[in-house]
Amino acid sequence: MPEIGIHTRLRRSPYYDATVAAGVTAFSPYNNMLLPLAYGDPDGEYRQLMDGVSMWDVGGERQIQLQGPDASRLAQILCARDLSKALVGQGKYVAVCDHRGVIINDPIALKIDDDCWWLSIADSDIRMWARCVAAERGLDVEVSEPDVSPLAVQGPMAEDVVASIFGDWVRDLKYFWFGDAEIDGIPLKVARSGWSKQGGFELYLMDGSRGLDLWHIVAEAGAPWNIGVGYPNPAERIEHGLVSWGGDCDDQTNPFEVRLTRFVDLDVPDDTIGIQALRQIAADGPTRHQLGIVLDGDERRPGHTVWYDVLSGGEKVGRMTCGTWSYKLERNIGYGLVSTSCSVGDPIEVALDDGLRAAKFVDIPFRIEDR
Amino acid sequence: MPEIGIHTRLRRSPYYDATVAAGVTAFSPYNNMLLPLAYGDPDGEYRQLMDGVSMWDVGGERQIQLQGPDASRLAQILCARDLSKALVGQGKYVAVCDHRGVIINDPIALKIDDDCWWLSIADSDIRMWARCVAAERGLDVEVSEPDVSPLAVQGPMAEDVVASIFGDWVRDLKYFWFGDAEIDGIPLKVARSGWSKQGGFELYLMDGSRGLDLWHIVAEAGAPWNIGVGYPNPAERIEHGLVSWGGDCDDQTNPFEVRLTRFVDLDVPDDTIGIQALRQIAADGPTRHQLGIVLDGDERRPGHTVWYDVLSGGEKVGRMTCGTWSYKLERNIGYGLVSTSCSVGDPIEVALDDGLRAAKFVDIPFRIEDR
């Protein structure tokens, strides 16, 4: 694969030098930052996450800060989920939709203070979007991207590592809740979150000049647990049913189509962007849904880099939006974004680069018995 | 340099397979597409552009289409330049600003029809921005990203190549004007444009399934002129004074700071986004401006990938936003985004990775006598 051409439009995270020293072999752009995506040992990196603990430079997961008297109002206008009862210190997974009800990002919304929210975003420019909405509606709120760069610690041993650094209070954090902390003079927030289903934390570093210090503190603290380096792991996230906005969604995708119905509240205020469209879609029923796909054959294929057509009875019924070798199923699996006429168990074909491949629809998350 | 980690969030252009066959060695993300940035012979690729003709996959330069009764109104709301006298077939270089007067993109606005515009954008999500504005203001216009992927033909021999394919009418096209064309059943628009100062055209392919066909037609037609492969060339663009939005601009940069004053019309309608802020900045005078920088020393340095502080009399006066080896000056050059207290001729220092480097401010575009 060709190199990534780096220039001044692609920013380095505060952990950049440490990831290079750790042997990063591939970067992906993410919010115009360099996000590590490989360190040369995919099998080992998967096992590290599943069985131990790994640390991830997810500095590309930027925080969009809404600050001012109208911050909470703007947060609600942007998010199709009821935020009125959220408490300071609480985060919620939300769908940010456009006026058509199409998802344009799926951040964690963190209530930092009564007049301050962070949207911890996926890979699209919500800063620009939020500023546009705030200005067009005349709201009294400042939208900015503060100096905050998350470092994720993920895996079944992550809690022990993070508690060894910050104390046992982190063990009591509920999912998506967070608290202030400081280590060696480094200001940060510790949140129970992260883009895996193996458990863990994100350390929201609040001083980019201390990135390498924080990296080394975590690496040293994690040494007794044999901590390794990692990244948002495609095999783990697909096996366990996490949606990749941008990866699994197109320019028409609403939350109901990708299993996010329970994160949408249809009774939010009428000025929430997209809520009228979402109510209509909910009433009509969405035309597509997301199903698991297991390909026939047990030869190990590379991860998908494009979407492939899915055929049922020779007719196109949708597309396969991601694909990975599953260590758990020992099959090649992925998601289909397909017509609601499709059901689990249906035999299908996927039009891969190298020809039609028999496959079947299964439930998400994937189970070994479905292979 | 590490690989670029490709996944389904990074789209291939219709010319992708041809660029791989031609030996692309590096990609950069651009509007979530893979934009070739190197083919392994930087000196030869520069010479090809300066002395001959080269073809560039710039499919990442997406078109944002505004279509409907309010299309022209929305175009004017988005662009801080008077578009009222533009004719169908004409393009104009524009600054899209946010409500603070900060540039968020610098596209070519092409008037496709009386009720249709394309914004041929730099690397930020103007589709999302335009949709937000249209919906918030209740405009009757559809914002989309049509199946259009430019292929650039650039260099002093570009006109001969393009005329040999489409006919001599292309020789009469004025800068940024365009016309409809068809070759071998492939629909496209031919525009006199492109991100170099060596002259040339952009072929707006309007059927992505025919990308490889168009590539081969241009390659064959260009063979008598020894056409080569290239990409938006950092050395050429810096030597000749082209601004890279995103590369040379930060989250505070207005058009006056980066030599785009002549593309701003302060008398556009009051509902143009950012125009009040721009009028105020014009009245007060901007606090920064863009100057050329020539570093002392004639050792060839790699292209800059980060911004460096610029010091005058030991005080920080701004930053150097790009840097390249200049074949023309045989020096390392770049741009400074610096205080308006700085002037051409001032001696300065640049805080490079490997220490302070003496330098001087010069005019843009660069002249050999300024080295």
ipTM metric: 0.96
The CATH number of the domain where A28 resides is what? Answer: 3.30.1360.120
User: What pLDDT shows up at residue B155?
Assistant: 98
Contact B4 A10 (CB under 8 A): no
Q: Measure the CA–CA gap between A75 and A70, rounded to whole angstroms.
A: 9
Q: Measure the CA–CA gap between B299 and B52, rounded to whole angstroms.
A: 27
Q: Is the model more confident about B293 or about A246?
A: B293
User: What pLDDT shows up at residue A356?
Assistant: 98
Place of tokens 């005058």: B312
Q: Which residues of B touch A104 (CB under 8 A)?
A: 128
Check CB contact of A28 with chain B, cutoff 8 Å. yes
Query: Does residue A358 fall inside a structural domain?
Result: yes
Q: Are A156 and A199 in contact (CB under 8 A)?
A: yes
The last residue of a domain, from among A207, A237, A267: A237
Query: Does residue B129 fall inside a structural domain?
Result: no
The interface residues of chain A toward chain B in range 88-107, judged by CB-CB distance below 8 A, are 98-99, 104
Q: Measure the CA–CA gap between A59 and A152, rounded to whole angstroms.
A: 9
Distances (CA, A) of A33 to A129, A180, B87, B115: 19, 25, 39, 37
pLDDT tens readout for residues B92-114: 999 999 999 999 999 999 999 99
Domain range for residue B353? 289-371
Query: Does residue A2 fall inside a structural domain?
Result: no
B65 token code pair: 């289409």
In terms of CA atoms, which chain B residue is nearest residue A320?
Answer: B8
The residue-averaged pLDDT of B300-319 equals 96
The interface residues of chain B toward chain A in range 200-219, judged by CB-CB distance below 8 A, are none
Residue B26 C-alpha, separation from nearest chain A C-alpha, in angstroms: 4
Place of tokens 């006298």: B85
A196 token code pair: 């895996």
Identify whether residues A183 and A251 lie together within a single domain.
no
What does the DSSP assignment read for A319-351? EEEEEEEETTTTEEEEEEEEETT--TT-EEEEE
Residues comprising chain B, all counted: 371
Place of tokens 């005329």: B163
Q: Are A64 and A117 in contact (CB under 8 A)?
A: no
Dihedral angle of Cα B184, B186, B188, B192, to the nearest 10 degrees? -40
Query: Does residue A306 fall inside a structural domain?
Result: yes
B343 token code pair: 């002037």
Query: Does residue A284 fall inside a structural domain?
Result: yes
Residue B255 C-alpha, separation from nearest chain A C-alpha, in angstroms: 17
Inter-residue long-range contacts of B248-253, CB under 8 Å, 24+ positions, other chains counted: B248/A8, B248/B290, B248/B321, B248/B322, B248/B335, B248/B337, B249/B103, B249/B321, B249/B337, B250/B337, B251/A145, B251/B102, B252/B102, B253/B102, B253/B103, B253/B288, B253/B337
Convert B313-338 to b/e letters by CB count within 10 Å (16 or more is b): eeeebbbbbbbbbbebbebbbbbbbb
Dihedral angle of Cα B353, B245, B196, B306, to the nearest 10 degrees? 10
Q: Measure the CA–CA gap between A200 and A222, rounded to whole angstroms.
A: 13
Q: Are B190 and B101 in contact (CB under 8 A)?
A: no
Q: Measure the CA–CA gap between A359 and A311, rounded to whole angstroms.
A: 10
Q: Which of A335, A287, A339 is nearest to A313 (CA)?
A: A339
Query: Does residue A332 fall inside a structural domain?
Result: yes
Domain count within chain A: 2
Of B6, B8, B306, the CB nearest to A1: B6
Of B4, B25, B234, the CB nearest to A26: B4
Q: Which residues of B touch A305 (CB under 8 A)?
A: 6-8, 10, 12
The interface residues of chain B toward chain A in range 248-287, judged by CB-CB distance below 8 A, are 248, 251, 273
Amino acid A65 reads Q
User: What pLDDT shows up at residue B88?
Assistant: 98
Q: How many degrees, rounded to 5, is the angle at CA B307 between CA B302 and CA B313? A: 105
Check CB contact of A145 with chain B, cutoff 8 Å. yes
Contact A124 B124 (CB under 8 A): no
Query: Does residue A119 fall inside a structural domain?
Result: no
Identify whether residues A307 and A267 lie together within a single domain.
yes
pTM of the model: 0.97
The interface residues of chain A toward chain B in range 122-141, judged by CB-CB distance below 8 A, are 123-125, 128-129, 131-133, 135-137
Identify whether residues B269 and B225 lie together within a single domain.
no
The last residue of a domain, from among B172, B207, B237: B237
Identify whether residues A328 and A259 lie together within a single domain.
yes
Identify whether residues A169 and A306 lie together within a single domain.
no
Q: Which of A113, A108, A115, A112 is nearest to A67 (CA)?
A: A115
Q: Are A272 and A302 in contact (CB under 8 A)?
A: no
User: What pLDDT shows up at residue A2?
Assistant: 85
What does the DSSP assignment read for A145-190? --S-EEEEEESTTHHHHHHHHH-GGGGGPPTT-EEEEEETTEEEEE
Identify whether residues B158 and B228 lie together within a single domain.
yes
Amino acid A91 reads G
A267 token code pair: 């009774």
Of A3, A104, A304, the CB nearest to B8: A304
User: What pLDDT shows up at residue B4?
Assistant: 84
State whether residue A216 is helix, strand or coil. Answer: helix
Identify whether residues A324 and A335 lie together within a single domain.
yes
Q: Measure the CA–CA gap between A358 and A297, rounded to whole angstroms.
A: 9
Residue A25 C-alpha, separation from nearest chain B C-alpha, in angstroms: 5
Contact A4 B9 (CB under 8 A): no
pLDDT tens readout for residues B321-347: 999 999 999 999 999 999 999 999 999
Q: Are A291 and A335 in contact (CB under 8 A)?
A: yes
CB burial of residue A25 (10 Å; 0-12, 13-18, 19+): middle
Of B27, B124, B234, the CB nearest to A4: B27
Query: Does residue B135 fall inside a structural domain?
Result: no
Identify whether residues A213 and A347 lie together within a single domain.
no
Identify whether residues A203 and A270 lie together within a single domain.
no
Contact A8 B248 (CB under 8 A): yes
User: What pLDDT shows up at residue B371?
Assistant: 86
Count of pairs with CB atoms under 8 A, one residue in A, one in B? 152
Which residues are within 8 A (CB) of A168 and not within 5 positions of it... i.e. 6 or more apart? none
Identify whether residues A265 and A330 lie together within a single domain.
yes
The CATH number of the domain where A354 resides is what? Answer: 2.40.30.110
pLDDT tens readout for residues B48-75: 999 999 999 999 999 999 999 999 999 9
Check CB contact of B146 with chain A, cutoff 8 Å. no
B116 token code pair: 């249709």
> Above 90 in pLDDT, residue B230?
yes
A119 token code pair: 């949207």
pLDDT band at B2 (very low <50, low <70, confident <90, very high): confident
Convert B167-202 to b/e letters by CB count within 10 Å (16 or more is b): eeebeebeebbbeebebeebebbbbbbbbbbbbbbb
Contact A244 B9 (CB under 8 A): yes
pLDDT band at B8 (very low <50, low <70, confident <90, very high): confident
DSSP-derived secondary structure letter, B225: G
The last residue of a domain, from among A237, A267, A290: A237
Identify whether residues B205 and B326 lie together within a single domain.
no
Average pLDDT of chain A to the nearest whole number:
97
Identify whether residues A167 and A283 lie together within a single domain.
no
Dihedral angle of Cα A180, A181, A186, A192, to the nearest 10 degrees? -80
The residues of chain A scoring below 50 in pLDDT are: none
Residues comprising chain A, all counted: 371
Q: Is the model more confident about A9 or about B368?
A: B368
